[in-house]
Amino acid sequence: MRHIMVLNAKGGCGKSTLATNIAAYFANEGANVALADYDPQRSSLDWLERRPDNRPSIAGVAAFEDGLRHVPRTADIVVSDAPARSHGKELTDLVRHAETIVVPVLPSTIDMQATTVFLQELQKVGKVQRKQAKIGAVANRVRDNTLIWDELDEYLTKARVPYIASLREAMNYVRAYTRGLGVHELPEYLAWPDWDDWDPLASWLKSKRSQP
């Protein structure tokens, strides 16, 4: 059973959007997927409740209540949507349940500053130091040809973690979320630019580089 966690202490950076789309992507690849929501706001579980019956099923886990106790034993992949403001012991406990950590970062000075502090703390967690968990950063909700996007691109290029992909700001993510879908489940004519954005992230997640 593989554990992928979407994690950043900064709120509002798109963790739930990324987690639900990762879960939907692997479900469509034929994996048995469980989606664990650690946030009491239930954004990922709310998405899952809207998921159509004719799409590959994903098991929901209210991890904010009982952790991962109720993850089905048949699950191949567990995608965890971590809560914001995770620091100290809570952060260490979360990382205990992760082998691959995806860190979304928004094109914002505040977000980049907060992520710098967060990554410093994350890299001091024992499991990460022992290289038992791999970290990858994703530029999220970017707009091409803007100064702040250029700053984020430069920031992540220089960061001491792999810079995996950049995902554009697009209404397709809103369309998909409100219907319980991932962007890969939207029609190709509508979502092909987002599919292209996802290729580097999907390739990394399926590679040995993302696994301890």
- Tens-place pLDDT, residues 140-175: 999 988 999 999 999 999 998 999 999 999 999 999
Percent of the chain with pLDDT over 90: 87
Of 22, 95, 104, the closest CA to residue 58 belongs to: 22
Residue 95 placed within a domain: yes
Domain that holds residue 183: 2-203
pLDDT of residue 90: 87
- According to DSSP, the β-strands at 134-142 and 100-105 are parallel
Q: Tell me: the pLDDT tens digits for 161-211?
A: 999 999 999 999 999 999 999 999 999 999 999 999 999 999 999 999 999
154: domain CATH number is 3.40.50.300
Residue 187 placed within a domain: yes
Rounded to 10 degrees, the C-alpha dihedral 170/174/176/181 comes to 120
Whether 86 contacts 117, CB under 8 Å: no
Query: Average pLDDT in the 32-61 region?
Result: 96
Residue 208 placed within a domain: no
Residue 209 placed within a domain: no
Contacts for 108-112: CB closer than 8 Å, 24+ residues apart: 108/148, 108/152, 109/148, 109/151, 110/10, 111/10, 111/13, 112/151, 112/152, 112/155
Query: Average pLDDT in the 87-110 region?
Result: 92
Residue 133 placed within a domain: yes
Q: How many domains does the chain have?
A: 1
Q: Tell me: the pLDDT tens digits for 116-145?
A: 999 999 999 999 999 999 999 999 999 988
pLDDT of residue 58: 98
pLDDT of residue 12: 86
Q: How many helices (H) and strands (E) does the chain have?
A: 9, 7
Percent of the chain with pLDDT over 70: 100
Residue 210 placed within a domain: no
Residue 137 placed within a domain: yes
Q: Tell me: the pLDDT tens digits for 62-93?
A: 999 989 999 999 999 999 999 887 888 889 98
Of 190, 162, 186, the closest CA to residue 176 belongs to: 186
Residue 144 placed within a domain: yes
CA 108 to chain centre: 18
